[in-house]
A and B are shown apart, each in its own frame.
Chain A
Amino acid sequence: MELDGLNFLVFLGCVAGLQATLPARARAALLLGASLVFYALVSLPWLVLLLGLCLVNFAAASHLGRAGRPGGRTLVFTTTILLDLLVLIGFKYLPGIEAWLPATPTGGIWRIAVPLGLSYFTFQMVACVTDAYRETWQPEGGFRDFALFGLFFPQITSGPIPRAGSLLPQLRAGGAPTAPDRLAGLRMIALGFFKKFVVASRLSEYVTDIFNQPPAGNFVPSLLAAGFNVMQLYADFSGYVDIAIGSARFLGIRLDPNFDHPFSATSVSGFWRRWHMTLSFWLRDYLFMPLVIRLRNGGKPGIAAATIFTFAICGIWHGATWPFLLFGVAQGVAMALELLTKSWRTRMIRGLPERLVDRLGNVWVLVFFMLSEIMFRSTTLPQALTLYRHLFHLRLSGGIGGLLGAQPYSMALDGLAIAAWLGVDYLYDRTTDRATPWFVALCATLILLLGCVGSANFIYAAF
């Protein structure tokens, strides 16, 4: 079951209805039951696998969190983390060796699918066990609560990646949504559906066409596709997360935010504190900090190396391809350059108006992300290089068709979708509880008029 389907809304409505009728002590069990059903509908064997991993991680975290410093802490910690990572790496990267495996008994080739949400689940588990090992979090409650934390259905497919300290106590209480919670949840779900079906799905058609075959003789279509690519990815991912956070809020559970106006950042490092925040913070706490602390005597070059390594891993996490690796390395290099040139830049901009400096920073972030996202979107290195070549080959020919690289009608609808996004975003920040039904109705109407339902998959589900 996908979050962006009508059947999910029916499922959520049923869970919320039952939650409202059950006594408080039974609500956590209801949420766990709903999460098990949700995942069983995806795949029963995968559910068994995730439950098994939950059990192992729960046992490890409980052992590490026990008072009196029991023996074998490092062994328990290392073994559990290795097991988590081996399962993730096995499922995520073994498909790359499918071609090397012998034929199946029926003469076909092996297909190894990645369990839905395995990455996010693994990040959660690693964080719990590490926090217990560091003694910064003490496991409370039993396995039922821990399994619910691992499998909570609104967030398991796409994050945000929760921390046990903030989510587990809420889940243990089972959620007690107030009327404002329900309305805030509805607004977020409506916004998420709008972003997904009106903006992301519509723009994906143009982006896919141009990335697959950039028109020669005119750089404008490639430039538009690079810009639309960023908008599509942002609308797609943030829209899906809006549905996840909104669904949880509808049940009275508050998840951590995952986006905070990323394009208002004035540096690439600032951007990553606003984009896919829960992943960025996870990378910071469980990969970058342990690494940089060990490299700290290398000074700024040591910190720069740790930054590049962290984001190279971030790139590879998306997939074992050259474009993903280069995308990650590019983020790390940009942040390393920002660090190494900070003093020089501070001297250079002294005396300039702050607003001007901020706007220049916004432009740097936007242009850098637009260019690096070409790598993220491309399935092969030659595909990315072709688009870069068309982008920087500043030729203009072919009239209006050449300029747009598509039918003007389709482009007008894309423009309309972007304008509607700006309007809906503006209204979302200003919609009160009383006006929520109108906001939901507006989003539904725009989806009916401009939406491309079912035309594009959720991009981040692949990770």
Chain B
Amino acid sequence: MNDPLWNDLTAIFREVLDDDALTLGETTSAKDVAGWDSITHVLLVVAVEKKFRVKFTAGEIQKLQNVGELAALIRRRLAKPA
């Protein structure tokens, strides 16, 4: 997928999850990735917020179901900061 946002997300996931071969899809969720537990979830959110210079609310973070929803949330926030 040649999308800068998607490429950045993949790089973040690979670094946090320590898996250079990890590939992400719209529906990829914690169930599909070894090591993606609640702690890793928070580390991913922190890394995403830092990279894209955005801030999510607690409710938004807890509602995220998969990578596609995270990407959509980043796009919304970049288009219209909270």
Check A293–B42 contact: CB distance below 8 A: yes
Per-residue A-contact encoding for B11-33, CB less than 8 Å = 1, 0 else: 00000001000000000000000
Instruction: Decide: B63 and A339 in contact? CB cutoff 8 A.
Output: no
A293 touches B39 (CB 8 A): no
A134 in contact with B39 given A290-B58, A294-B58, A296-B46 (CB within 8 Å): no
- Please, what's the 1-or-0 string for B39-76, where 1 marks a CB less than 8 Å from any CB in chain A? 10011011000000000001101110000000000000
- List B contacts of A288 (CB < 8 A): 38
* Complex partner residue of A273 from B37, B45, B58, CB under 8 angstroms: B37
Docked pose: A221 CA to B43 CA in angstroms: 44
CA distance A339 to B37 in the complex (A): 12
User: In the complex where A134-B62, A136-B63, A346-B18 touch, is A289 in contact with B38 (Cβ < 8 A)?
Assistant: yes
Contact of B59 among A134, A269, A292, A339 (CB under 8 A): A134
Say yes or no for A297: interface residue by CB 8 A criterion: yes
Main secondary structure of the interface of A (DSSP, over half): helix
How far apart are the CA atoms of A429 and B70 in the complex, in Å?
Answer: 40
Q: Which of A290, A294, A339 is in CB contact (< 8 Å) with B39?
A: A339
In the assembled complex, the Cα of A182 lies from the Cα of B70 at a distance in Å of 43
B18, B37, B62: the one within 8 Å of A293 (CB): B62
Whether A299 is near chain B, meaning CB under 8 Å from some CB there, is yes
A97 to chain B, nearest CB (A): 35
Interface size class of A (residues with CB under 8 A): 20 to 34
C-alpha spacing A299/B37, complex, angstroms: 16
- Within the complex, the shortest CB–CB distance from A308 to chain B, in Å, comes to 13
**Is A171 located at the chain interface by the 8 A CB criterion?**
no
Residues of the B chain whose Cβ atoms lie less than 8 Å from the Cβ of A299: 46
User: 8 Å CB contacts to B: which residues of A281-321?
Assistant: 284, 288-290, 292-294, 296-297, 299-300, 303, 307
Q: Is the CB of A293 within 8 A of B63?
A: no
Q: Which of A135, A273, A292 contacts B42 (CB 8 A)?
A: A292
Establish whether residues B37 and A297, one from each chain, have CB atoms under 8 Å apart when the complex forms. no
Cα-based distance from A346 to B18 in the complex (angstroms): 10
Contacts of A273 in B (CB 8 A): 37
Chain A min CB distance to B51 (Å): 14
Instruction: Give the complex CA separation of A136 and B63 in angstroms.
Output: 7
Most buried by A among B42, B43, B46, B59: B42
Which chain A residues border B46 with CB–CB below 8 Å? 296-297, 299
Judge whether A293 and B38 touch: CB under 8 Å: no
A289 contacts which chain B residues (CB < 8 A)?
38, 42, 61-62
Instruction: Please list 20 pairs of residues, one from A and one from B, whose beta carbons are closer than 8 Å in the complex, sorted by A's number.
Output: A134-B59, A134-B62, A135-B63, A269-B37, A288-B38, A289-B38, A289-B42, A289-B61, A289-B62, A292-B39, A292-B42, A293-B61, A296-B42, A296-B45, A299-B46, A300-B43, A303-B43, A307-B39, A339-B39, A346-B18
The 7 closest A-B pairs by CB, nearest first: A293-B58, A284-B38, A296-B46, A292-B42, A296-B42, A293-B61, A303-B39
Interface residues of A (CB under 8 A from B): 134-136, 269, 273, 284, 288-290, 292-294, 296-297, 299-300, 303, 307, 339, 346
